[in-house]
């Protein structure tokens, strides 16, 4: 079921019980499907003819960023693992706004692939203005003793190593005025007893963002981050049991999970000239949780 032109605040507060056996999940199998764009929007073309690369761009927050960027006039490269149907839909949505989209499948935990993805973007568009490090995975465990060495390494390779790899490959192409935006999480600030390794990577992303912002200030490249709260994305039904999915996000001040379309404007702001005096900062679209850090 696809929701169209329905005000977010009027959508149901709880989600039906559901679970997907594959990690990182498919948006096409979610009920209801996450909202990646609003029915009525009047873009200001803040990113006219810029080029952005978005990891984890096939679905969820990544798809919403791709669509929002296209609405603001940008072309996009969408990097994803193997969710080909979701990536195809993202490409269709970008094209519906008259912008070009190239989809690039591969594992961002592999530094060689990250280099290839950047080079393919340059070959396709001739430039790169915005890098969105957004890909992530999570594997809930009740006890730290249950986190295997393999899980620990994979989570860190996907969630933070890839940010280093993509950034290193992109830097020789990013111009003065370019932007790097990293997706962290509210769990970086308050922790999560059942997502210890995931939360640790998100904390590392905050430190990475602040340090990189200082390192690139002289080059006039802004580095910022977005720390979403509970957002309705394929990570949720693919990693949590059906009962937890049903209650997801209901403990926020707003009493519901956020939609990807509600997070995407943070990335547009930071990538555009509106956010030109922001660097080393983190925005918090989280449904009302106060973050003091």
Rounded average pLDDT over 102-108: 98
d(CA 236, CA 241): 9
Q: What is the pLDDT of residue 285?
A: 97
pLDDT surpasses 80 at 15? no
Check: CB of residue 182 under 8 Å from CB of residue 225: yes
Which of 80, 165, 198, 267 does the annotation list as catalytic?
A: 198
pLDDT surpasses 50 at 5? no
Cα radius of gyration (the chain): 18
Q: What is the pLDDT of residue 234?
A: 78
Say whether pTM exceeds 0.85.
yes
**Span 243-284, pLDDT tens digits:** 878 788 788 999 999 999 999 999 999 999 999 999 999 999
d(CA 208, CA 206): 5
| Nearest alpha carbon to residue 179 among 128, 210, 222 | 222
d(CA 248, CA 232): 8
| Token output for 24 | 């990182």
Residue 2 binned pLDDT confidence (cut-offs 50, 70, 90) = very low
pLDDT surpasses 70 at 24? no
Q: What is the pLDDT of residue 3?
A: 39
Rounded average pLDDT over 156-169: 98
d(CA 143, CA 265): 36
- Cis check for the bond before 79: say yes or no (omega within 30 of 0): no
pLDDT surpasses 60 at 18? no
| Token output for 132 | 């969105």
**Span 176-218, pLDDT tens digits:** 999 999 999 999 999 999 999 999 999 999 999 999 999 999 9
Active site residue 198: yes
Q: What is the pLDDT of residue 32?
A: 66
Q: What is the pLDDT of residue 13?
A: 57
Q: What is the pLDDT of residue 4?
A: 43
Rounded average pLDDT over 59-65: 96
Enumerate domains of the chain plus CATH numbers. Answer: 44-283 (3.40.50.720)
| Nearest alpha carbon to residue 63 among 25, 95, 93 | 93
| Token output for 293 | 């850090």
| Nearest alpha carbon to residue 181 among 44, 293, 81, 50 | 50
In this structure, the dihedral spanned by the alpha carbons of residues 29, 43, 12 and 185, taken in order and rounded to 10 degrees, is 70
- Greatest Cα-to-Cα distance within the chain, rounded to the nearest angstrom: 50
């Amino acid at each position: 079921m696809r929701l169209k032109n329905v005000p977010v605040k009027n959508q149901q507060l709880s989600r039906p019980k559901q679970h997907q056996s594959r990690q990182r999940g498919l948006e096409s199998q979610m009920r209801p499907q996450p909202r990646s764009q609003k029915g009525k929007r009047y873009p200001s073309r803040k990113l006219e003819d810029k080029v952005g690369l978005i990891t984890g761009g096939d679905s969820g927050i990544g798809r919403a960023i791709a669509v929002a960027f296209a609405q603001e006039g940008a072309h996009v490269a969408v990097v994803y693992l193997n969710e080909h149907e979701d990536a195809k839909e993202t490409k269709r949505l970008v094209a519906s706004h008259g912008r070009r989209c190239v989809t690039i499948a591969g594992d961002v935990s592999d530094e060689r692939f990250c280099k290839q993805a950047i080079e393919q973007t340059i070959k396709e568009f001739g430039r790169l203005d915005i890098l969105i490090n957004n890909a992530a995975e999570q594997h809930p465990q009740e006890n730290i003793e249950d986190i295997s060495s393999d899980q620990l390494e994979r989570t860190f390779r996907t969630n933070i190593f890839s940010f280093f790899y993509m950034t290193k490959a992109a830097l020789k192409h990013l111009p003065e005025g370019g932007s790097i935006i990293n997706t962290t999480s509210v769990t970086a600030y308050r922790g999560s007893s059942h997502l210890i390794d995931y939360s640790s990577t998100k904390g590392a992303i905050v430190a990475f963002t602040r340090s990189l912002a200082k390192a690139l200030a002289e080059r006039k490249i802004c580095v910022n981050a977005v720390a979403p709260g509970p957002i309705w994305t394929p990570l949720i039904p693919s990693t949590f049991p059906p009962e937890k999915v049903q209650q997801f996000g209901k403990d926020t001040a707003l009493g519901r999970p956020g939609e990807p379309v509600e997070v995407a404007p943070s990335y547009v702001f930071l990538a555009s000239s509106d956010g030109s005096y922001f660097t080393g900062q983190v925005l918090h679209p989280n449904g009302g949780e106060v973050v003091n850090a």
